[in-house]
Structure 1
Amino acid sequence: MKEDSRKVLKSMMMVTQLGIVMMVPIFLCGALGVWLNRLTGIDIIFPILLVLGIGSGFRSVYMVTKSFYASDKKKENEKLQYMEDLKNYRNTHPDEDFSDVMEGKKKRYPEHKTRQNF
């Protein structure tokens, strides 16, 4: 139960963070564009800075979501690598029975080592 509430809280924090990370660059660049338009009288500054703010906001959202899902992606890659190594081990040791391992009942792979990316 505690783990579920932590996941909900983490998801709510993520949504809030995404909203802030997206809107702040847009509003700051828009405000700077309006101020520079009034100061210089050049009307093209506002749209340029607004597009720059939108691009910056999307980049920030991408970076935040990428870091948010990095641990899940790492676990998924490790699981896929484990299954691939298990298949290779099975091909090199065809006389062993692997039905219990493939059904997920237990892990049995003596040469499996987790890889660390540096």
Structure 2
Amino acid sequence: MAPHEVRILELFSGIGGMRCALASAGIQSTTITAVDVNTESNKVYNKSYGDKPQAKNIASAGVKWFDSMDAVMWTMSPPCQPYTRQGKQQDSDDCRANALGRIIEVAGPSANDRK
């Protein structure tokens, strides 16, 4: 890793849009790991970047897992359907919102207490 590279944890990595955006913005980064539950997206990501994302449901990730990543920045593109009209605006009642809820729990104010 170059001295000015940012260590990234890519959550809901999809096909790598956030990684592409960082590169387009001229931000030097190293992806620690990319994570997406969608195996087809993971195949595209792997073909594009040569890195194999973890096929993991973030909703079940433990605090220790997040802490072990030692990332400076978390990027993410979580599902929007729970919050849209076409998704019936089910908000947190939609199971697709569980993973984002977990991230909010892990990254909330108590996260500073673990450091």
- Higher-helix-fraction structure: 1
Structure with the greater alpha carbon radius of gyration: 1
When normalised by structure 1's length, the TM-score is 0.22
Q: Which has the higher contact order (CA 8 A, sep 6+)?
A: 2
When normalised by structure 2's length, the TM-score is 0.22
